[in-house]
């Protein structure tokens, strides 16, 4: 699986889908603070983590998890790219 | 329809339940609802009640009950194991059979409750219908996700701290899963739980409801369906696009799931 | 006795309000008792309480000779009533009914109302409805201004989005986007008001607060230091207690979140509440 060129948009689509947000993915800014803007609570964040693992085939290790990873779309995309790079995918 | 609170004994412990009795002619079918694990029960409870109140008037007696150490049943959560809970489910099904004298017995479970129901039917293939809402097919994977959920909750809690925050103190025995004491014995049984072994004894019908944000069937549910079908069982898999209500913090509704469940159950049991 | 109706201490009960049955569990000590506790759960909860904290505490109370009632509000748990019809007003009616039931059927002469989150607001609202109520244990009580916005996670989302959009309205770039149709007003509206507005309960919340101001019994307030609702709650309720001469005690559980989601925090809340209750 190659890293998609529009990974940020894909992650926005995942966010809208998994959190049942009634909005278009493209309306989410790349650097918008997600938790403050969309009121993401622990349940929503969990769904997002599970979604990322399922869709991108990555596993988040216990010591990798940090709220900083979910600051915004860009930080999430960077994390996904780093996981892919690490496994040579 | 009438509803009455009931108590019955399981291995010396008193279990609590609510029996929904239909007003249809006897004999009529009956169903045991198997609840999910730990705090998922709190979030999902009202939806299971609503489902019972829609299904019962169709002519099905329903027993909802609390496993030992859960809800109003006796026992300590920390002393429970999946084996003991399966025993509680046996007791509940036996009690319902004795008191309702049903024409057919079915089971409906949510998450771990669905897994227990599936395990029960492997020992009781005479069951006439098995409904599985988001069954846990791989216990070790689900345990990992439970710990991840807890980790997320703790991180958010610490992030919201008024002062220098501390993580919840660790628990001296077993695991503290957000206020639920999970024994090492329970954790081991969780790790060993798998519904994907073949062949399966139960021949169905089985109805799997996937409740998810995505419309595409998950690999695990497809694998479970395949496991049943390859053993000669009839097994349908239906996707209901909805939020995972068993883990929501607020109030949840699931009208589509209830409607589809009632349809699936009635097609077989009535 | 039906199906072995009750165990030594635990007894399933129902009581009726407006023709609808509320399901509950009475813990009745086997020794003579005078005091009872009524547990009042949160908005979306059941009579077990978060991580079954009410069940565990109720059983401990019973062993200490204190009766207790846990019940599901109408539209919640096992109780009758439509889920969507429940609001703070109906919860308050149910609590008042529960107080009357405990006094008449269980014959307690002293009552403590113990609530968590919305349940503690309900406890405040019911505190002056019967002379038997002489104490309140209030866990994680939201401040009135906060309660409307935070009762449902969907509502919280809307408020966050609204704040964000209001901030953006004052930026030039926003107007440029709007005028160029890159921001669709319909989209903004949809995001903010994607669900039907929740029932308005401001009147009832104010009523609960006003009742509390009249209370002359003892009050225990318990909050987690890592619950974002703690600071506004203490800022609201401590001055009320001071100004109205309400004997009160505050306990902060270090590091705890809104529902005390750990065995250690739970133990601390229960032990502290038990010690406080024994001194009543």
pLDDT, tens digit (0-9, with 9 covering 90-100), for A2-31:
778 899 999 999 999 999 999 999 999 999
Judge whether B149 lies within some domain.
Answer: no
Closest C-alpha to A78, from A2, A27, A7: A7
Judge whether B75 lies within some domain.
Answer: yes
Q: Which pLDDT belongs to residue B162?
A: 58
* pLDDT of C166 above 80: no
Nearest CA in chain B to A39: B156
Residues in A closer than 8 angstroms to B151, CB to CB, are 62, 65
Give the distance from residue C178's alpha carbon to the nearest chain B alpha carbon, in angstroms: 31
Judge whether A2 lies within some domain.
Answer: no
Which other chains touch chain B, taking contact as 3+ CB pairs less than 8 Å apart? A, C
Q: What are phi and psi of B197, to 5 degrees?
A: -75, 155
Rounded Cα distance between B33 and B108, Å, is 5
**pLDDT confidence of B168, banded at 50, 70, 90?**
low
Looking at C7-143, list the stretches that DSSP marks H as alpha helix, in order from N- to C-terminal side.
Answer: 53-63, 88-101, 118-126
Q: Which pLDDT belongs to residue A40?
A: 85
SS3 assignment for chain B = CEEEEEEEEECCEEEEEEEEECCCCCCCCEEEEECCCCHHHHHHHHHHHHHHHHHHHHCCEEEEECCCCCCCCCCCHHHCCHHHHHHHHHHHHHHHHHHHCCCCEEEEEECHHHHHHHHHHHHCCCCCEEEEECCCCEHHHHHHHHHHHHHHHHHHHHHCCCCCCCCCCCCCCCEEECCEEECHHHHHHHHHCECCCCCCCCCCCEEEEEEECCCCCCHHHHHHHHHHHHCCCCEEEEEEECCCHHHCCCCCCCHHHHHHHHHHHHHHHC
Task: Assess whether the previous peptide bond of C125 is cis (omega < 30° from 0).
Answer: no
CB C191, CB A23: distance < 8 Å: yes
Give the distance from residue B148's alpha carbon to the nearest chain A alpha carbon, in angstroms: 8
Judge whether A60 lies within some domain.
Answer: yes
Residues in A closer than 8 angstroms to C153, CB to CB, are 39, 41, 43-44
| C-alpha B170, offset from chain centre | 28
Convert the pLDDT of each residue in C79-138 to its tens digit: 999 999 999 999 999 999 999 999 999 999 999 999 999 999 999 999 999 999 999 999
Q: Which pLDDT belongs to residue B160?
A: 76
Rounded Cα distance between A68 and A75, Å, is 8
Q: Which pLDDT belongs to residue C199?
A: 46
Mean pLDDT along residues C231-241: 96
| C-alpha C171, offset from chain centre | 40
Count of domains in chain A? 1
Judge whether B259 lies within some domain.
Answer: yes
Mean pLDDT along residues C191-208: 60
In which element (H, E) is residue C274 found? helix C263-278
CATH number at residue B35: 3.40.50.1820
Judge whether B184 lies within some domain.
Answer: no
CATH number at residue A33: 1.10.1200.10
- Among partner residues A24, A27, A39, which is closest to C157 by beta-carbon distance? A39
> What value does the mean pLDDT of chain B take?
93
3-state secondary structure of A40: coil
Interchain pair B168, C55: CB under 8 A: no
Chain C residues interacting with chain A (CB cutoff of 8 angstroms): 153, 156-161, 164, 183, 187, 190-191, 194
Residue A76 structure tokens: 């999430």
CB C272, CB C251: distance < 8 Å: yes
- pTM to 2 decimal places: 0.89
For chains A and C, CB pairs below 8 A equal 31
CB B94, CB B60: distance < 8 Å: no
* pLDDT of C149 above 70: no
Neighbour order of strands in the sheet with C110-116: C10-17, C20-27, C67-71, C35-40, C110-116, C133-139, C218-224, C248-253
Rounded Cα distance between B64 and B33, Å, is 5
- Residue A46 contacts B, CB cutoff 8 Å: yes
Judge whether B117 lies within some domain.
Answer: yes
CB C123, CB C96: distance < 8 Å: no
Interchain pair A24, C160: CB under 8 A: no
Closest C-alpha to B264, from B193, B200, B204, B187: B204
* pLDDT of C4 above 80: no
Q: State the burial class of residue C158 (Cβ atoms within 10 Å of its Cβ: 0-12, 13-18, 19+).
A: buried
**pLDDT confidence of B172, banded at 50, 70, 90?**
low
Mean pLDDT along residues B240-244: 94
Segments forming the whole domain that contains residue A81: 7-87
Q: What is the DSSP letter of C45?
A: -
Strands C110-116 and C35-40: parallel
Closest C-alpha to C115, from C94, C145, C101: C94
Convert the pLDDT of each residue in B99-138 to its tens digit: 999 999 999 999 999 999 999 999 999 999 999 999 999 9
* pLDDT of B150 above 70: yes
Segments forming the whole domain that contains residue B12: 2-137+195-269
CB C262, CB B169: distance < 8 Å: yes
Bridge partners for B181 per DSSP: B176
Q: What are phi and psi of C36, to 5 degrees?
A: -130, 155
Convert the pLDDT of each residue in B187-226 to its tens digit: 999 999 999 977 899 998 999 999 999 999 999 999 999 9
Q: Which pLDDT belongs to residue C201?
A: 55
- Among partner residues B156, B214, B218, which is closest to A42 by beta-carbon distance? B156
Q: What are phi and psi of C223, to 5 degrees?
A: -140, 155
> What value does the mean pLDDT of chain C take?
84
Judge whether A1 lies within some domain.
Answer: no
**pLDDT confidence of C195, banded at 50, 70, 90?**
very low
Q: Which pLDDT belongs to residue A41?
A: 86
3-state secondary structure of C99: helix
DSSP C50-70: GGGHHHHHHHHHHHTT-EEEE
Mean pLDDT along residues B21-25: 92
Convert the pLDDT of each residue in B230-240 to its tens digit: 999 999 999 99
Closest C-alpha to C83, from B211, B253, B20: B253
Neighbour order of strands in the sheet with B235-241: B2-10, B13-21, B61-65, B30-34, B105-110, B129-133, B206-212, B235-241
Q: Which pLDDT belongs to residue C155?
A: 52
Token pair 């002359």 in the structure block, residue:
C216
Nearest CA in chain A to C177: A27
Count of domains in chain B? 1
Mean pLDDT along residues C64-73: 97
Judge whether B150 lies within some domain.
Answer: no
Judge whether A59 lies within some domain.
Answer: yes
Token pair 């008191």 in the structure block, residue:
B99
Q: What is the DSSP letter of C184?
A: -
């Amino acid at each position: 699986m190659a890293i998609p060129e529009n990974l940020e948009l894909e992650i926005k689509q995942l966010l809208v889908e998994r959190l049942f947000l009634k909005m278009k993915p493209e309306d989410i800014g790349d650097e918008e603070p997600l938790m403050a803007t969309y009121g993401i609570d622990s349940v929503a964040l969990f769904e997002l983590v599970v979604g990322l693992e399922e869709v991108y085939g990555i596993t988040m290790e216990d010591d990798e998890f940090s709220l900083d990873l979910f600051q915004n779309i860009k930080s999430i995309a960077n994390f996904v790219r780093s996981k892919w790079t690490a496994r040579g995918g | 329809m009438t509803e009455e609170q009931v108590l019955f004994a399981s291995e010396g412990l008193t279990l609590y339940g609510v029996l929904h009795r239909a007003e249809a002619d006897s004999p009529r079918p009956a169903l045991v609802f198997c609840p999910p694990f730990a705090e998922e029960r709190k979030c999902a409870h009202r939806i299971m009640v609503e489902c019972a109140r829609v299904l019962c008037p169709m002519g099905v007696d329903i027993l909802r009950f609390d496993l030992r150490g859960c809800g109003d049943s006796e026992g300590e959560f920390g002393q429970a194991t999946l084996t003991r809970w399966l025993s509680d489910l046996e007791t509940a099904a036996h009690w319902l059979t004795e008191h309702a004298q049903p024409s057919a017995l079915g089971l409906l479970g949510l998450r771990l409750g669905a897994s227990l129901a599936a395990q029960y039917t492997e020992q009781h293939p005479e069951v006439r219908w098995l409904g599985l809402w988001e069954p846990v097919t791989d216990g070790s994977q689900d345990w990992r996700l439970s710990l991840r959920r807890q980790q997320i909750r703790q991180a958010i809690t610490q992030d919201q701290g008024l002062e220098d925050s501390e993580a919840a103190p660790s628990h001296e025995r077993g695991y503290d899963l957000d206020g639920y004491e999970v024994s090492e014995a329970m954790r081991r049984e969780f790790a060993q739980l798998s519904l994907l072994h073949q062949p399966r004894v139960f021949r169905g019908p089985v109805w799997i409801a996937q409740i998810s944000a995505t419309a595409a069937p998950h690999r695990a549910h497809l694998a479970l369906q395949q496991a049943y079908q390859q053993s000669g069982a009839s097994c349908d898999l239906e996707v209901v696009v909805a939020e995972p209500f068993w883990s929501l913090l607020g109030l949840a509704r699931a009208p589509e799931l209830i409607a589809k469940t009632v349809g699936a159950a009635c097609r077989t049991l009535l | 006795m039906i199906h072995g109706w009750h165990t030594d201490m635990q007894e399933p009960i129902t009581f009726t309000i407006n023709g609808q049955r509320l399901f509950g569990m009475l813990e009745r000590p086997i020794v003579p008792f005078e005091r009872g506790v009524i547990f009042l759960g949160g908005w979306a909860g059941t009579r077990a309480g978060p991580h079954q904290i009410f069940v565990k505490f109720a059983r401990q109370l019973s062993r200490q000779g204190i009766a207790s009632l846990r019940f599901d509000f109408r539209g919640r748990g096992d109780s009758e009533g439509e889920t969507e019809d429940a609001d703070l007003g109906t919860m308050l009616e149910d609590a008042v009914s529960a107080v009357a039931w405990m006094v008449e059927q269980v014959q307690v002469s002293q009552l403590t109302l113990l609530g968590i989150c919305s349940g503690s607001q309900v406890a405040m609202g019911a505190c002056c409805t019967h002379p038997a109520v002489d104490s309140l244990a209030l866990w994680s009580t939201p401040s009135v201004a906060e309660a409307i916005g935070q009762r449902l996670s969907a509502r919280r989302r809307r408020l966050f989005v609204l704040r964000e959009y209001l901030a953006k309205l004052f930026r030039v770039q926003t107007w440029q986007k709007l005028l160029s149709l890159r921001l669709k007003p319909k989209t903004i509206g949809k995001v903010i008001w994607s669900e039907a507005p929740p029932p308005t309960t401001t009147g009832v919340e104010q009523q609960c607060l006003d009742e509390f101001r009249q209370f002359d019994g003892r009050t225990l307030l318990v909050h987690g230091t890592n619950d974002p609702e703690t600071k506004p709650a203490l800022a609201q309720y401590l001055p009320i207690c001071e100004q109205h001469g309400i004997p009160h005690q505050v306990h902060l559980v270090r590091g705890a979140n809104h529902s005390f989601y750990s065995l250690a925090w739970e133990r601390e809340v229960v032990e502290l509440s038990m010690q406080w209750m024994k001194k009543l």
